[in-house]
Amino acid sequence: MVNVEQIAGIAMTVITYSGVAKSCYVEAMRKIKSGNKEEFEAEMKKGDENFVLAHHAHLEILNREMTTAEPQITMLLAHAEDQLMSAETIKTIVIEMESIIEEVRGKNKDE
C-alpha cells in the first residue's frame, strides 16, 4: 500500500532541491552577464549538485510506484515533476545564453 506521507515527503524533497537548482542557474546567468566566469561556473556546479539530489529523490518515487504497482498522482507530486523539469529547462537556456554572451563579448573585443 502506498504511504502518502512518504510520497509527500519525497515530493517536497524534489521541490526543494529543484527550486534551489533553478535559483542557482538563474544566478549563474546573472554572473555570466556581468562577466564573472568563475562565479558562473560555481553557480552552475551548485545548481547541478542540487539537481542531482532532486533527481535521486524523483527516482525514489518512481521506484516506489513500480514496486507497489499502485500509481498515485497527487497535486504535490505533479508540482514536484513540474519543478524538476523546469529546473532542467532553465539550465539548458542558461547554457545557451552563456555561449551567446561569450560570443558577443568576443565580437565586441574585435571591434
User: How many residues does the structure list for the chain?
Assistant: 111
> 69 — alpha (psi -120 to 50), left (phi > 0) or beta?
left
pTM > 0.95: yes or no: no
Mind listing the pLDDT tens digit for each residue in 42-57?
Answer: 999 999 999 999 999 9
Is the distance from CB of 94 to CB of 41 less than 8 angstroms? no
User: Could you list the residue range(s) of the whole structural domain that residue 68 is in?
Assistant: 4-110
- CATH number reported for the structural domain that contains residue 92 in this entry: 1.20.58.80
Q: Name the domain count of the chain.
A: 1
The 10s digit of each residue's pLDDT in 46-104 is: 999 999 999 999 998 888 777 776 666 677 888 998 999 999 999 999 999 999 998 89
Q: Which residues are catalytic?
A: 79
Nearest CA to 58 out of 90, 81, 91 is that of: 81
